[in-house]
Amino acid sequence: MRVSSAWALVAAATVTAMPQPVSKRDPFPADGTVVGGVPHRPFRIRRQAAAPATPQGNQLIPVVVGGAQDTFVPNLIMAQVGDVVQFQFSNGNHTVTQSAEGAACQPLQAQVPTAIHSGHVPFKDGQAMVGTFNMPITSADPMFLYCATGPHCQEGQVLVINPTNANQVVQYSKLAAAAKANVDGTTVSGGAVGQIPLANAAFVPAPAQGAGGGGPPGGGAGGAPAAAPAAPAAPAAPAATPATPANPAQDPAAAPPAEAPAAPPAEAPAAPPA
């Protein structure tokens, strides 16, 4: 019995020491498989999405409308889809109105109701807030804009966004100068009207007409102010005490008038004949 028990112990030890078969458990089980009582969630590497075929922008592009001159500054812009053009309205009363390329000064809203039009946005001297029109860029196609106030379009207040070439701006300006009428838009469309503090604007208001006339002497920018009345010049010496020239002969105006020659003595009348 003891021998049998000994052999049993030896056999058990031998079996225990023998290499065990490798577990066939999948080291990468499917997502959600319970392993050891915990759902398996495999590690994943996040891959960046491919870049879009069309570049996407997110810039704010300021454009000054009006001011000392009726212009857009700048009057040519290259913008990407996603950019926002912020029109900042300076001195005067102006609009941002879209037209077709070959119909300068004519609102595109007549054919496309959703075309760009800001409405009239004024700015007066002394305002602390500046009117704005934020226009998002939704297409990379060229866009032609003008001011529909008075004769501003014919006077050159035009703008082209994403022109195909620089000559396109020149040709559009020529069409505007030859336009017979400057037609206003109908309703605000294509952007949002708002306000920003003057301190945040991209311009300094043009000086008021006639500014400087009532300012203190020596003050005011934009040209030399009117000088204060000059002190009157020292009066000339009184006529009673004229200065005597050093050489009267050299100063005919100051020389005393020449004395008239003395009249010859009158001859005594001849005695009558006896």
Domain residues of the chain, as ranges? 60-200
Which whole-number Å values give the CA distances from 175 to 70, 81, 95, 195, 269, in the listed order? 17, 27, 18, 32, 106
Q: According to the model, what pLDDT value does residue 14 have?
A: 64
Q: Is CATH 3.30.450.20 the right assignment for the domain spanning 60-200?
A: no
**Is residue 189 very low, low, confident or very high in pLDDT (cuts 50, 70, 90)?**
very high
Q: Are 105 and 183 in contact (CB under 8 A)?
A: yes
Q: Work out the average pLDDT over 21-31.
A: 58
**Residue 206 pLDDT level (bands cut at 50, 70, 90):** confident
Confidence of residue 274 (pLDDT cuts 50, 70, 90): very low
Residue 264, pLDDT above cutoff 60: no
DSSP letter string over 76-137? EE---BT-EEEEEE-SEEE--EEE-TTSTTS-GGGT-TTS-B---EEE-TT-SEEEEEEEE-
**Position with higher pLDDT, 273 vs 93:** 93
Which pLDDT does position 41 carry in this prediction? Answer: 63
Residue 59 pLDDT more than 90?
Answer: yes
Q: Tell me what pLDDT residue 101 has.
A: 97
The better pLDDT of the pair 40, 219 is held by: 40
pLDDT classification of 114: cutoffs 50, 70, 90 = very high
Contacts of 16 (CB under 8 A, 6+ apart): none
pLDDT at 225 over 70: no
pLDDT of residue 223: 41
Predicted TM-score (pTM) of the model is: 0.59
- For every residue of 210-235, DSSP letters joined together read TTTSSSPTT--SSSPPPPPPPPPPPP
192 compared with 267, residue with greater pLDDT: 192
The token pair that represents 174 in the structure block: 């020529």
pLDDT over threshold 70, residue 184: yes
Is 96 a residue whose pLDDT tops 80? yes
pLDDT score of 156: 97
Tell which wins on pLDDT, 16 or 232: 16
Q: What is the pLDDT of residue 166?
A: 86
**Measured in whole angstroms, how far is the alpha carbon of residue 54 from the centre of its chain?**
27
